[in-house]
Structure 1
Amino acid sequence: MISRKTLIATLLAVSLSSFAAAGNAASDTVRIVTDPTFPPMEFTKAGQRTGFDIELLEALVKEMGKKLEWTDIDFKGLIPAVLSGRSDAAVSAIYITDERKKVVDFTDSYYAGGLVVLTRKDGPIKSLKDLDGKKVSVQVGTKSVKYLQDSYPKVQRVEVEKNEEMFNLVGIGRSDAAVTGKPAAKLYAQAHPDLAVLDEQITTEEYGIAVSKDQPGLTKDFNAALQRIKANGTYQKIVDKWFEGGAR
């Protein structure tokens, strides 16, 4: 007959073994949050996530020999999800900023973007100085909000949850312009001939993957994988697919 002491020791060993196995399994999966409403960076087509960021992360995680687990949430919830431990990292055309670096780590920049103005061709905004006093739509949680607060305090900000709603307000004339990232603005304007992106770019920004400060090894692995896919040509193939004329 097995003694009580032996039984407890056996159950404890099994429990610890199961816990370790679960930990190892978890370490093989990278949990990523994104807001797939920002083409061409990330969006949903035929019920599937696609876009530059999506393909890039799939290539990086494959290069790292790990599995990828996606979760879709609103942009304003991306950093909080990383901070709370609900995800290991976030990718969603996130600009690397000093303010964000206080709470999360960032990988090396994987693409250069920047803020631009999308407006109607027949509208009143022809240059950046024309923004003052106008209605400008921006997505909540993005750098566009603070930029307008600091640089154009006379702007009437129209803050919305979704990227598509921000663009639609310009199209129907409820906003005079939208301030957002260049890739998405350019793509939207191409599909809507009555809209245009001002030639004068507001800022030049770097996109990065936001990673929990508790996982410095993951940031290091992402950076190493990024260098490898740049060296083997995978990165450039993704860039060429999603951005006309290659990286800028």
Structure 2
Amino acid sequence: MKSKAMKWLTTVPVAIAVAVSLAACGGGAAQSTASATDALKGSDQTSLDKYTTKDVTPLDKLDKSKLGLISEGTLSVGTLSDAPPNIFIDKSGNFTGFDNELLKAMAAKLGLKVEFASTDFSALLAQVQNKKFDVGSSSISTTDKRRESVGFTNGYDFGYMAVVAKNDSKIKGFKDVTADQRIAVVQGTVQDDYVTNTLKIEPVRFPDYNTAYANVKNGQVDAWVAPSQQADGQVKSGDGTAIVEKTINTQNFTAYAVNSKNQALTDALNSALDAVVADGTWSKLVKQWYPDRETPKNWKPGSKASVVPAA
């Protein structure tokens, strides 16, 4: 997708070219194939989730020699470089963010090193299933459609969805998003599914969050329907833009993607997730990366037996 140094797209001609070229892909490979699901319908994780495991195998009972890793002792992870605060590359060139720091802590519980590589979100799940990566880390919403092609761990987070527009735009929320506007999404995301299949609008699809947001700033699109965490990471004072609405999306938890046939690795990661929940690491990282966020009622990370320490 990119080298470690993510270059910010700022020039209008380039933004126009990217927007036009991607808009032309709408009827081809870029077309969303997800079935229609109303990501903003809202529900608690408990009633919707039929995938969370009842409990996990204790860490000391795992057979770590059978994890089916690409390289023994190393967890190969495909991730993004431009989606703070979840998954991004910092100024020192290190992969970081809530999702990646949590995964590092989980890998440590399993005695594994972590090796990150940057990719496009639209390619990530196929790359995990084709064993280019052991794990996909990208705040991935675990939709039923995605479960047809890849496996997932238990959930470690949930999502909000946001609308980003110019300060002087007439778009003030989801109710103002209409078919006569140019609406940006990142290709293959839940937001792509929502705009395409629920709102019945053909969006302008981009390969990454930087490019989508740059086109909002430059006026090449009217608004961006985005994961709110990534919107928070992109929108800066003085940009002339704003997050005009933010709403919770609890239709599907977010989880790490794993090859659907590698149950041993999925089980090990589930055990490690419960362990970092129990020792307070998950709660610490939530406070670090999402200082102003409230966790939805009736939701918790990990297996059904996991215990989140009292604050």
Q: Verify same fold: TM over 0.5.
A: yes
2:185 is aligned to 138
1:110 positional shift: 0.5
For residues 128 and 139 of structure 1, what CA distance do their matches in structure 2 show? 17
For structure 2, the 5+ residue unaligned runs are 1-64, 296-311
CA deviations on 1:190-240 (whole Å, 9 max, x unpaired) are 545632223352733421100111211111111111111111111111111
1:197 is aligned to 243
Residue 255 of structure 2 is aligned to residue 212 of structure 1:
no
Equivalences for 1:40-55 in 2 at 5 Å?
40-46=85-91, 47-55=93-101
For residues 223 and 124 of structure 1, what CA distance do their matches in structure 2 show? 45
Same amino acid, percent of matched pairs: 29
For residues 192 and 102 of structure 1, what CA distance do their matches in structure 2 show? 43
2:53 is aligned to none
Higher helix share: 1
Alpha-carbon contact 1:127-1:198 (below 8 Å) kept: yes
Say if 1:59 and 1:129 are closer, same or farther in 2 by CA, change over 3 A: same
For residues 247 and 88 of structure 1, what CA distance do their matches in structure 2 show? 31
Which residue identity does 1:114 align to in structure 2? Answer: Y
Which residue identity does 1:40 align to in structure 2? Answer: P
For structure 1, the 5+ residue unaligned runs are 1-19
Alpha-carbon contact 1:111-1:247 (below 8 Å) kept: no
2:79 is aligned to 34
Residue 164 of structure 2 is aligned to residue 123 of structure 1:
no
Q: Which of 122, 126, 138 is 1:92 aligned to? A: 138
Alpha-carbon contact 1:82-1:90 (below 8 Å) kept: yes
1:247 positional shift: 5.2
Q: Which has the larger radius of gyration?
A: 1
CA deviations on 1:29-52 (whole Å, 9 max, x unpaired) are 211111121111111122221211
For residues 76 and 64 of structure 1, what CA distance do their matches in structure 2 show? 29
Which residue identity does 1:220 align to in structure 2? Answer: D
Which residue identity does 1:176 align to in structure 2? Answer: D
1:241 positional shift: 1.0
- Give aligned pairs, total: 226
If asked which structure has higher relative contact order (CA below 8 Å, sep 6+), I would say: 2
Say if 1:123 and 1:233 are closer, same or farther in 2 by CA, change over 3 A: same
For residues 210 and 235 of structure 1, what CA distance do their matches in structure 2 show? 18
1:3 is aligned to none
TM-score (norm 1): 0.84
TM-score (norm 2): 0.68
2:124 is aligned to 78
